[in-house]
Structure 1
């Protein structure tokens, strides 16, 4: 696959704070260095955990690429796409995405992900995977409700214990494992196609996909005993039945900071409930963004 194709933002895409945003491939040493600086600013990781310039250059030479969001010559966000395989199929692996603090919550991340999808499809790739922390409600909403990913697997302590402390606590150790969910982004799935169409609709430039809401049924100990939900951007008239749910803490960073022991217990509970759901072959394809009780929603594989 070639890493040379350039993707630009749509000419009619709205400016952010009055500035024109261009999405294009990062190709120069200066642009790669800007990606490293942005990692340092956004992730708050130790230097040893940052992807250095050399890694970014090597991954590009191996078929990967970085799409950057620029205001003029300033890099304000990027997504790093790697070439991967699934059996004999070439797929994409989204290694990381970062958006500068001053430009967060303005839709830059979504524009980068949809540009990544377009580039991957142009290269004949229709599946991308990546990971995120199960306890991060904001990421869950973005990945599941806005992008349309599904989740079928849970990785225990993927990067090692205390890999990523919350911002401002980089040197502290709380015994928190780096559990991760694997996002499965089927780029041609009907739900993803519908979300992509909405994202390209200038009338929906500021419209947010509604998170799934449980309209009936009781959640007890992470289980939905009955009830239905309408996941974000569900296509069609049939409303799928929620067969299980896993609730997560509403503010994980605050919980780790204020009560690490409870955070560890909550992480183990979330892990066990996800593992139980996946052992039953349930698929996570919805997220209820309730401020006090955020929760993942599960369905049978044919009912999502």
Structure 2
């Protein structure tokens, strides 16, 4: 039976059978079929799709056909979402440390609304089938829609701030900015993740006494004192448009979020979710970071 429609037994990690069912429902809702890829022709289509999304420098694509071929042949994750014969989304990932526990999702992109969610749920079911407990990936903490998707729709949580993770990037989306990332960790068996995969968004509680670590003033970030049990870290509404319209203002946001969010996380604070365009960061208490 194919991966996209397979229904395995219960794994004890949120339920493999339930995970495949949720993945199938997500795919059906947006009219796609998700399947594993293992042919050169499919990898070339993925490369074309990613070029359509990011418009990278031809010398530095997000992934190459050769690497996808190697990943697939070695049993790693390479999958595509199809509307008929048209590829509308794709995702690649590889096994990571600790061995037997983690899949690192390297690149995921989609041009069909809902296809990204369907791909991630397929990826989760695929990982559960192999006994994995976590999927990790990096994303730009300034991109609000990605924070909403990763934290609210999926229930992943940032667990590490990574300044200038990729070095200079030459694609249309990231060019002219520094490549800070956060490492998102998707704990596949967490109750709030199971609910999110069932289309119940994860909305964190904002602790009493939370303070504004960064706020908007005239579109610019204003960093404030971060003393308190929790800190709210705002991000711009659309940093990608801001990079083009006002690079200096976009750069100010980068530095402010790096200082406040990065500083808090480096000091042991835990991001508990994303709400109203702001990261909710718990500073005190043994329960910090737990949904």
Give the 4+ runs in structure 1 shifted more than 2 A: 8-16, 161-166, 208-226, 299-304
3-state SS, counterpart of residue 52 of structure 2: helix
Q: How does 1:9-24 map to 2 (within 5 A)?
A: 10=24, 14-16=28-30, 20-24=31-35
> Deviation of residue 180 (structure 1)?
0.3
Structure 2 distance, partners of 1:267, 1:85, is 29
TM-score relative to the length of structure 2:
0.80
Among 48, 66, 84, the alignment partner of 2:96 is 84
Question: Would the alpha carbon gap of residues 12 and 61 (structure 1) be closer, same or farther in structure 2, given more than 3 Å must change?
Answer: closer
Is there any run of 5+ residues in structure 1 with no aligned partner, and where? Answer: 200-207, 227-241
Question: Would the alpha carbon gap of residues 160 and 25 (structure 1) be closer, same or farther in structure 2, given more than 3 Å must change?
Answer: same
Query: 1:288 aligned to 2:275?
Result: yes
Measured on the aligned residues, the alpha-carbon RMSD in Å equals 2.6
Q: How does 1:1-304 map to 2 (within 5 A)?
A: 6-8=3-5, 10=24, 14-16=28-30, 20-50=31-61, 51-86=63-98, 88-100=99-111, 103=112, 106-166=113-173, 174=176, 176-196=177-197, 198-199=198-199, 209=201, 211-212=203-204, 214=206, 219-222=211-214, 243-289=230-276, 294-299=277-282, 300-301=287-288, 303-304=290-291
Structure 2 distance, partners of 1:12, 1:302, is 28
3-state SS, counterpart of residue 78 of structure 2: strand
> Deviation of residue 36 (structure 1)?
0.6
Contact 2:156 2:185 in 1 (8 A): yes
Structure 1 distance, partners of 2:144, 2:205, is 14
3-state SS, counterpart of residue 41 of structure 1: helix
> Deviation of residue 11 (structure 1)?
7.2
Question: Which residue pairs with 1:232 in the alignment?
Answer: none
3-state SS, counterpart of residue 49 of structure 1: coil
Question: Would the alpha carbon gap of residues 6 and 275 (structure 1) be closer, same or farther in structure 2, given more than 3 Å must change?
Answer: same
Is there any run of 5+ residues in structure 2 with no aligned partner, and where? Answer: 6-22, 215-224
Structure 2 distance, partners of 1:189, 1:12, is 19
Contact 2:56 2:171 in 1 (8 A): yes
Structure 1 distance, partners of 2:127, 2:237, is 34
> Deviation of residue 161 (structure 1)?
2.6
Structure 1 distance, partners of 2:93, 2:201, is 25
> Deviation of residue 73 (structure 1)?
1.9
> Deviation of residue 177 (structure 1)?
0.9
TM-score relative to the length of structure 1:
0.77
> Deviation of residue 218 (structure 1)?
6.2
Structure 2 distance, partners of 1:181, 1:273, is 13
Question: Would the alpha carbon gap of residues 162 and 144 (structure 1) be closer, same or farther in structure 2, given more than 3 Å must change?
Answer: same
Question: Would the alpha carbon gap of residues 302 and 23 (structure 1) be closer, same or farther in structure 2, given more than 3 Å must change?
Answer: closer
How many residue pairs match? The answer is 259
Structure 2 distance, partners of 1:194, 1:91, is 21
